[in-house]
Amino acid sequence: MMKWLFSLFFSLVLLILMLPEPGLCFDILGLQPVSPHGVFSTFSAESNPKQKYSFELSAESSIDPDFFRYALKGSYGISDSVELSITIPYVHEFLDTIDGLEDIAFGVKHRIYDEGTYGPSIAYLIHGSLSTGREELSSDGKLGVGLIISKRIPPFRGHFNALYARPGDSSLEDEIILSGGIELSIAHNVSMLGELHAKKGFYSDEYDQVEARLGYRIKTTDTIYTNIGLGFDLKNRSPEYRIIFSVGFVAPHEKKHLKKIYEEE
């Protein structure tokens, strides 16, 4: 099974490296996972338990083109296998002058197969966005579907995503995202993160974003996760570099109280 995980990851590497090079365009964010159920932009098939919620505040600084992006992300477990998610992104100083909201994204993730001894966990994602963004930062909404596969092989946990979306603006191209993420537990509360992310965006008929991302996730407390990372292009893409920071909060689980039984002598 370890061979299956690495073969999937390196197959994605080879696919990304063979993709043709396009020109510059804006990277519309879309729906994002909420820590700890994902790696940067790659979703995990895991989700919040029923009636439990999580949210995350993220900030990133992109270099060449230079801009800042802030996002509020949240998720809520409808059941132990179905989760609602939302992402609200805001862009600052794109091309030095453009500030404003991107389209607000939402989605429903449903895990249809739980991980077994040999098989991975599998989920599908129905996702979309509302046309709430500034014109330069919007696709006039979108609607799409996706496949999510996850597998845990201690100390690794791996994820693969294939996502598709059709924009509300008929003059734009369809979006396709292929991504793979790996978590490596290196301490009780620290994991190393790695991701390969390839995206054919709305403004090109070729893949216009190919990034590798590396970082750490620190379990600061039982309910708080801190993520730091660096993204960099693989084939002279845009942005050239991306610095990522986020803090996530998950609702605490109910603690089970053990009853002590005393025997009378």
In a domain, 224, yes or no: yes
Q: Say what the pTM is.
A: 0.85
What does residue 70 show for φ and ψ, rounded to 5 degrees? -120, 145
Quick check: is 258 in a domain?
no
Give 118's pLDDT tier (boundaries 50, 70, 90): confident
CATH number at residue 13: 2.40.160.40
Asked if the structure places residue 12 within a domain, the reply is: yes
- What is the helix (H) or strand (E) element at residue 13, kind and residue range? helix 2-17
Q: Is residue 257 part of a domain?
A: no
Q: How far apart are CA 209 and CA 71, in angstroms?
A: 19
- Asked whether the beta carbons of 175 and 149 are under 8 A apart, the reply is no
Is 263 part of a structural domain of the chain? no
Domain that holds residue 188: 2-250
Tens digit of each residue's pLDDT (9 = 90 or more) over 129-180: 999 999 989 999 999 999 999 999 989 999 999 999 999 999 999 999 999 9
Rounded distance between C-alpha atoms, residue 32 and residue 40, angstroms: 8
Where is pLDDT greater, at 189 or 3?
189
- pLDDT tens readout for residues 49-95: 999 999 999 999 998 888 999 999 999 999 999 999 999 999 999 98
Task: Decide if 185 is inside a domain.
Answer: yes
Answer whether residue 195 is part of any domain: yes
Classify residue 262: in a domain, yes or no. no
Q: How confident is the model at residue 20 (pLDDT cuts 50, 70, 90)?
A: very low
What pLDDT sits at residue 64?
83
Identify the band that residue 117 occupies on the pLDDT scale cut at 50, 70 and 90.
Answer: confident
Number of domains in the chain: 1
